[in-house]
Amino acid sequence: MNSNNKAERRMPSSPKSPNANSATALVRELAEILIETGLTEIEVERDGQKIRVAKSAAAGIVQAYAPGPAATVAPAAAPAAVEADAPPAGETVTSPMVGTVYLQPQPGTPPFVKVGDKVTAGQTLLLIEAMKTMNPITAPKAGTIVELLVADAQPVEFGEPLAVIG
């Protein structure tokens, strides 16, 4: 390292310095990515500088956990009175991102919701893990869970139906 680099490192960066401008631009870029993708947190490391941008979840604090081995989940029995070709009555909640669905906050705990539960607008229905970040998927309206269309630890695509609220 030459003496000029050492002097620059000791000086506090001012808002007009090139490093501050590039960091500000990076933070703005990361914030735009959060909005576009629906993620709640993103972290980037460049040239030894680590920047983390996060937004608070509307549903409150969600704890991230490392998923354990996937348990075998029996498929939900379809109600006998519903026609196979008929779309479910109610509002379908779709996935805002690609990721893995988790139906409970932590392994071994009760699920956020199950079929027949009454929910309020903004209540967490499930989590989608994307890029090691747990993203709560909330109810868009109050109602009753008519159908859960995904299983725990199931991978989902953008726009895939997750649940139906009647």
DSSP string, 75-118: PPPPPTTS-SSSPPSSEEEE-SSSEEEESSSSTTSPPS--TT-E
Report the largest interatomic distance among the alpha carbons of the chain, rounded to a whole angstrom: 80
pLDDT band per the 50, 70, 90 thresholds, residue 42: confident
Whether 109 has a pLDDT exceeding 60, the answer reads yes
Residue with tokens 């199950």: 114
List of residues 6+ apart from 35 with CB closer than 8 A: none
Domains and CATH numbers, the chain: 13-54 (no CATH), 91-165 (2.40.50.100)
Q: Tell me the average pLDDT across 32-61.
A: 69
Helix (H) or strand (E) holding 161: strand 161-165
Q: Tell me the average pLDDT across 73-77.
A: 52
pLDDT, tens digit (0-9, with 9 covering 90-100), for 19-36 = 666 667 777 787 777 777
pLDDT at residue number 28: 79
Q: 145 or 44: which carries more pLDDT confidence? A: 145
